[in-house]
Chain A
Amino acid sequence: MERRIESDRPVSEGLSTLGLKQDSEQEMRILVVEDEALIALQLEMEIEDIGHTVAGTCMNLPECLLFLEDSEIDGAILDVDLRGVDVFPAAEKLRQKNIPFVFHTGHGDKRQIEERFPCSTVFKKPTSTEIMLKQLFAAPLHI
């Protein structure tokens, strides 16, 4: 049942298997929520490299909530702290819509976040994009 991937594994492990998505996998539309430009750009490019589509990149919470209003996505990678504002309202919305998401955080209490969102996994920065995507689509949909 526990299918979480340990987030502290070396990035090189992800890199070694970095490549195109498996043929069996569909092309997914991913939302990137990240307030640090370079990290956002890196996520965007690596998601594209793997063969998925970046549906959008949001750098603050209002932008993110607005985006979720009328966009169709298959999954999301969420930075927890957006310029001092918690991303949790966006996570709540994703949970309501049954859209899988993972957290990608540089700080904060990992256990506390996992208790609040048991349907999700918390990855510490930096984690390989591929590992996060694998977890994103391995996770069971939370009802």
Chain B
Amino acid sequence: MGSQRLKPIHALLVIVVAIAMLLVWGAKGTVDAFKADEGSQAQTNQTSNTVKYIRQVQISLVDSETAQRGFVITADMDYFEAYYDGVRRYRSAIENLNLVLEGIKTRAQVELIFNIERLSEEKIAEMSRSVDLVRQGRRDEASALIEQGDGKMLMSDIRGNLDALYNLDRGALEEALAESYETQENSFRRLIAMGIGVLLLLSCIIYLFVRAISLDQTLDLLDEVNAERQRSDLLSKELNHRVKNLFAVITSIVRLTGRNEKKTDIAVGKITDRILALSRAHSLTVSEENKDVTDLETLVRTLLTPYETPSRHFKIIGPHLELSQNTLTPLGLLLHELATNALKYGAWSTEKGGSIDVSWDTKADESQEGSIVTLFWNESSNSALQPTDFTETGFGFRMMTMSMRQLDGDIQREWNDGLNLTAQFRKG
């Protein structure tokens, strides 16, 4: 479903393709405009040449007519020269006119030039007849010929045809200029469109740039999230490990207590107390990777306080000592066992009560990293009696010894006016 949605990148692709097409279209327009301009330029050149030769044709004919008339009136040979010069210039001009329009003549132009040439030749023939008559000394006949007015009519026809030819060419020029102007207008519009296209393209680039920056930020965030998840995975693995271990320990507590205490209600009470002690010890912390999580004074206080009354008190003396998570179960069980033993047999067992001093000191372990802790548990009571089963094989003693062995340690104990126990263990 998500893949079928139009993504911004698809829209962007469409826009870029559209802009590319727009630019091609604009470029084509510009080329067209150049071509149109070249065309109108050529037309202008051609028209100005055409006009020039049309005028030369007209002027040369008018000149030769004027000279012919002068010659008829005065018979001066200068006029005769001028007449021939005019006719020569006419022939040159008409030839040039034909050259300029060579190959590009329209049907109308062909017709007009044909007419002009025909009429001009007739005019020249008419003029040369009168010139010949003057040279033969027959000036009167020549004058009469002119007065007939044929020459004048011919001249007027020629002028009409020349004007028509001039107008035709003029029209072609105007058309070419109009077309060029229109193409230029069109080209200008295309240029504006191209400009807008380029702006759009720039916007697309800026958009992509901004997206790249935000992508970078997202990737950074993803890295952070991944690191955080790894940390939380590790923590949950560690917790999982601890929970499994605690369940195994609790199972052992139940089975060992049940094995050594056959009376169900007493067994249940002992099991509950031991699990509670374990729970108190572990509730002091949620650790990460077995780092230092609590300290010995807090642990002792937490485990002994539930038994404290005005007559049962305890004192804690010792330097601050950080504990790691793996010491909590064995130390917790040791201290709990000691406290319940004190209640049952020791300093806290009689009405008069007594006091327990808990103290410790540490020294560096020379063979390994870490330190060796020596913990002293000294009970003092005037009324407590040494229990009869104060042996090395009793369950409680085995449990305490084993707990200290777990920490590479050991315990020694003796009885004065209460229990005096020394426990040594390694603090990781």
B252 near A39: Cβ-Cβ < 8 Å: yes
Which of A20-28, A30-38, A133-141 lies at the binding interface?
A30-38
Q: Residues of B contacting A35 with CB < 8 Å?
A: 406
B333 near A38: Cβ-Cβ < 8 Å: yes
B259 near A49: Cβ-Cβ < 8 Å: yes
Alpha-carbon distance between A46 and B248 when the two chains are bound, in angstroms: 15
Q: Residues of A contacting B247 with CB < 8 Å?
A: 126
Q: Does A99 belong to the interface (CB within 8 Å)?
A: no
Q: Residues of B contacting A46 with CB < 8 Å?
A: 255, 259
Q: Does B241 belong to the interface (CB within 8 Å)?
A: yes
Q: Does A106 belong to the interface (CB within 8 Å)?
A: yes
B406 near A41: Cβ-Cβ < 8 Å: no
Q: Does B186 belong to the interface (CB within 8 Å)?
A: no
B405 near A37: Cβ-Cβ < 8 Å: yes
Q: Does B244 belong to the interface (CB within 8 Å)?
A: yes
B245 near A106: Cβ-Cβ < 8 Å: yes
B249 near A38: Cβ-Cβ < 8 Å: yes
Alpha-carbon distance between A141 and B333 when the two chains are bound, in angstroms: 39
Which B residues from 216 to 270 make CB contacts under 8 A with A? Answer: 240-241, 244-245, 247-249, 251-253, 255-256, 259
Give which listed residue, B240, B256, B329, B399, contacts A36 with CB less than 8 A: B329
Alpha-carbon distance between A106 and B243 when the two chains are bound, in angstroms: 10
B interface, by DSSP: helix, strand, loop or mixed? helix
A126 near B256: Cβ-Cβ < 8 Å: no
Q: Residues of B contacting A57 with CB < 8 Å?
A: 402, 405
Alpha-carbon distance between A39 and B329 when the two chains are bound, in angstroms: 12
Closest chain-B Cβ to A11's Cβ sits at a distance in Å of: 8
Known: A42-B252, A83-B326, A126-B248. A37 touches B259 (CB 8 A): no
Give which listed residue, A42, A59, A125, contacts B256 with CB less than 8 A: A42
Minimum CB distance partner of B326 in chain A: A83
Known: A106-B244, A125-B244. A41 touches B256 (CB 8 A): yes
Alpha-carbon distance between A106 and B333 when the two chains are bound, in angstroms: 20
Alpha-carbon distance between A141 and B253 when the two chains are bound, in angstroms: 34
Q: Residues of B contacting A3 with CB < 8 Å?
A: none
Q: Residues of B contacting A90 with CB < 8 Å?
A: none
Q: Residues of B contacting A49 with CB < 8 Å?
A: 259
Could you mark each residue 310-340 of chain B with 1 if its beta carbon is under 8 Å from any beta carbon of chain A, else 0?
0000000000000000100110010000000
Could you mark each residue 42-67 of chain A with 1 if its beta carbon is under 8 Å from any beta carbon of chain B, else 0?
10011001000000010110000000
Q: Residues of A contacting B403 with CB < 8 Å?
A: 37-38
Q: Residues of A contacting B259 with CB < 8 Å?
A: 45-46, 49
Q: Does B301 belong to the interface (CB within 8 Å)?
A: no
Q: Does B398 belong to the interface (CB within 8 Å)?
A: yes
Known: A41-B399, A59-B405. A36 touches B255 (CB 8 A): no
Alpha-carbon distance between A36 and B330 when the two chains are bound, in angstroms: 8
Q: Does A107 belong to the interface (CB within 8 Å)?
A: yes
Which B residues from 61 to 83 make CB contacts under 8 A with A? Answer: none
Q: Residues of B contacting A125 with CB < 8 Å?
A: 244, 248, 251
Q: Does A68 belong to the interface (CB within 8 Å)?
A: no
Closest chain-A Cβ to B245's Cβ sits at a distance in Å of: 6
Q: Residues of B contacting A40 with CB < 8 Å?
A: 402, 406
Give which listed residue, A11, A37, A42, A45, contacts B330 with CB less than 8 A: A37
Which A residues from 66 to 98 make CB contacts under 8 A with B? Answer: 83
Task: Return the 3 tightest CB-CB contacts between A and B, nearest first.
Answer: A38-B252, A37-B402, A42-B252
Given A41-B252, A106-B248; 18 other pairs, CB 8 A cutoff: A36-B249, A36-B329, A37-B333, A38-B252, A38-B253, A38-B403, A39-B252, A40-B406, A41-B256, A57-B402, A59-B405, A59-B406, A60-B408, A83-B326, A107-B240, A107-B241, A126-B251, A126-B252
Q: 7 A-B Cβ contacts within 8 A? A: A36-B252, A38-B249, A38-B333, A41-B398, A41-B402, A46-B259, A107-B240
